[in-house]
Every structure is written in structure tokens, then in C-alpha cells.
Amino acid sequence: MNRAHNFYAGPAVLPFEVIEETRDAVYDFNNLGVSIMEISHRDKAFDVVIQEAQSDLLNIMKLPKEEYYVLFLGGGASTQFAMVPYNFLLNEADYIETGYWSERAVKEAKITGKTNVIATAKETNFNHIPKNFNITPNADYVHITSNNTIYGTEWKKWPETGNVPLVVDHSSDFLALNHNFSKASLIYAGAQKNVGPAGVTIVIVKKSWVEEKSRKEGYTMLKYKTHIDKESLYNTPPVLPIYVVHRTLKWIIKQGGLEAIEANNIKKASLIYDLFDAYPEFFVGAVKVKEDRSLMNVTWNLPTPELESKFIDEAKKLKMLGLKGHRAVGGIRASIYNACPLSSVEALTKFMEEFHKNNK
């Protein structure tokens, strides 16, 4: 198969071997004579899939199963914007605002209770990660968005929050860096950027926090305890997306775990950022602080909108897809998630060099 160079921001590129495995499972899962899309979510064969995915995920993240739950839920990360405060915002919560999606998280939290924006980069069009902030001493939690797909910024190190629980929307750089995940009390991520297709949201939550602090009464589907008690099977889960996640986690382990994944992501991103540094008047990076540059979503402008359109059109002819920047900011964006091959980034940077030469 002649694969295109996939730079879409999400749904996004998946490991090709996972696509092949999923193709086969869609036709005949485990030689059972039924598709993975047809099997009961309570069948023992699927139970192996979801149990292995939970175990593999905690092993990859170096989190003890005695201390953390793993949930596979529907509704996307946008539902988590509401579920997190619904379960844990009892007095007040702190949010650090770093882009469009963190703004939406703040909006949902304000519906539930007192929400403090303790730092924001809005005044500079979210071109950096704010480093100076004071955490409210009695806050129920501090919420961050680890990577910002639209603006191209990323927390390379998560903030220290002391005794205040940290909540991380990890959607667009999930399992891309080798973080100390134990710093967080809750991590959530839509799968469609880095570990699967759209349709499943992963939640990793500290058992003690749920048991001691979470809401016990209220809407059944919005309580984490509901899904914990039923092991993500309270209602029919997104079976096919969970299967893809299961296979992608196996792929990550096969690559050498997060140490190898992070090293490869740094290598890929550096190829593009090196061109920013070499030709700063032509490839104008949207992120102004180098340490805040995302490894996942590389954003830039060219000297004119006309050149940007030309760049995108010529790239399409070379089967480089998904390079148009988000409609909110324009410009150009290359999303180079875990499964984006080094060869695709090399092809892109070669094209960028040639485009500069011909249009400078």
C-alpha cells in the first residue's frame, strides 16, 4: 500500500501494523468467526483485551495497579471537562490556561463551582507556557492541558503542585514523553491523537483520591465510581477503539517503551525546528519560547498567506496531508505523533528546504 505522509492533528496516524491487525480483527476476531465489532463486550475474549490494555498501560506509565484505576469511557476529552469538576470540585479549583481546549475546560468547571484561572498565556495568543503562578492553598485540584494542538505549546515537565492534586488533560501528547506520571492524581486523554481512533477516552485516576474525595451521589454516568465499580462495563464500551488502543500499547512496548518513544519524538521534531532556527524570517515559529515547543504539533507561518497556501497545495501533490493550520490561527501545522514515521518528517523537511530555496 502506498501510504501518504499523514500530518493530520486528529484523528491521526496509527502504526501501520496496528491498522493491519485491526483490519483482520474487523473481519474475524481471534478466529471466532465474528468481527471485533460484533462480539459482546462481556465475552471472555474481549475481557482479555480490556484487562491487558489496562495492565499494559500502567506498566508503560510505571504506575502500580494497587494505586491507580484505568477506565475506558466514551464522550471524548470534552466530557472530562465536566466530569472532573463534577466529581472533585467541592470548594474551588485552579486552572492554568494555555489554549483553546483549556479555555473550554475552564468554561465547564465554572458551571460546577468556583474556578480560578491562576495563570494564562491568552494575552500573547498562547505562544508560551506560563511558568509563574500561585496555587490556591485549599484548592481541590490544579488542572493543566499538557499539549496544545492548535498553538503548538507543550509542558515538557508538569508543574509541582505540592499537596494539591494535579489533573492533566493529556489528550494530544499521551504517551509521547516519559513523564513521572505519579505526579498526577488524574490523567485523561482522548485516544485519537496518539493511541487509537476517535471514540474512546482513557482515564487513569488515583484510587485513594476517588475513594476519599469524589462525589458519591449524583448522575450515575458522570461519577467515576460508577465506571470503576463496573470496570468500564457499566454500559456498552467502545469495543473497536479499545481494541485498537490495546494493539497500539503492544506496539509501544515493542518500540522499547516511553524512553524510546520520547527519543524518537525529539529526533523528529528537531528536524523541523532546526529549519525554524536556520531560516527564522521564512519559517516563523508560532511558539516563542524554545523549551515550550511541542513535540507533537509543530506550528508556523510563512511570510505571506499566499505562500502558505502555495506550500500546502504543493505538499498535497507530494501526498503530505493535514498541514493546514487550525482555522482559529491559520498558518501551517505538522502533527507528528508517535506513529508518524521518521521518513515522513524527513520528506517534509526536504520539501521545506526546497520550498525555501524556490520562494525566499
User: How many Cβ atoms from other residues are within 10 Å of residue 233's Cβ?
Assistant: 15
Crossing angle of helices 342-359 and 305-317, rounded to 10°: 130
Q: How confident is the model at residue 328 (pLDDT cuts 50, 70, 90)?
A: confident
Task: Characterize the bridge pairing of strands 5-6 and 147-148.
Answer: unpaired
Mean pLDDT of all residues belonging to the chain = 97
For 311, counting Cβ atoms within 10 Å of its Cβ (0-12 exposed, 13-18 middle, 19+ buried), the class is buried
Q: What percent of the chain has pLDDT over 90?
A: 98
Catalytic residues: 101, 169, 193
Question: Which three-class secondary structure state does DSSP give residue 252?
Answer: helix
Amino acid letter for position 67:
E
pTM of this prediction? Answer: 0.97
Residue 1 is predicted with a pLDDT of 72
Task: Give the CATH architecture of domain 17-255.
Answer: 3-Layer(aba) Sandwich (3.40)
Amino acid letter for position 352:
M
Most distant CA pair in the chain, distance? 64
CATH topology of domain 5-13+257-359: Aspartate Aminotransferase, domain 1 (3.90.1150)
- Assess whether pLDDT exceeds 80 at residue 358: yes
- Assess whether pLDDT exceeds 80 at residue 313: yes
Alpha-helical regions (H) of the chain: 16-27, 44-60, 76-88, 100-112, 207-213, 224-229, 239-255, 257-278, 305-317, 342-359
Residue 113 is predicted with a pLDDT of 97
Q: Is the peptide bond before 11 cis (omega within 30 degrees of 0)?
A: yes
When pLDDT is averaged across residues 23-28 and rounded to a whole number, the result is 98
When pLDDT is averaged across residues 294-321 and rounded to a whole number, the result is 98
Residue 210 is predicted with a pLDDT of 97
* pLDDT tens digits along 86-110: 999 999 999 999 999 999 999 999 9
Amino acid letter for position 297:
N
Give residue for cell 477516552.
201
Inter-residue contact 201 to 190 (CB < 8 Å):
yes
Q: Which helix (H) or strand (E) holds 219?
A: none
When pLDDT is averaged across residues 169-177 and rounded to a whole number, the result is 98
Residue 22 is predicted with a pLDDT of 98
**How far is CA 301 from each of CA 98, 276, 323, 334, 347, rounded to the nearest angstrom?**
20, 10, 11, 12, 19
* pLDDT tens digits along 235-294: 999 999 999 999 999 999 999 999 999 999 999 999 999 999 999 999 999 999 999 999
* pLDDT tens digits along 4-22: 999 999 999 999 999 999 9
Residue 360 is predicted with a pLDDT of 86
User: What totals of helices (H) and strands (E) does the chain contain, helices first?
Assistant: 10, 14
Residue 216 is predicted with a pLDDT of 86
d(C-alpha 98, C-alpha 112), whole Å: 21
Amino acid letter for position 133:
F
Q: Domain segments of the chain: what residues?
A: 5-13+257-359, 17-255
* pLDDT tens digits along 41-91: 999 999 999 999 999 999 999 999 999 999 999 999 999 999 999 999 999
Task: Characterize the bridge pairing of strands 147-148 and 297-301.
Answer: unpaired
Give residue for cell 519559517.
283
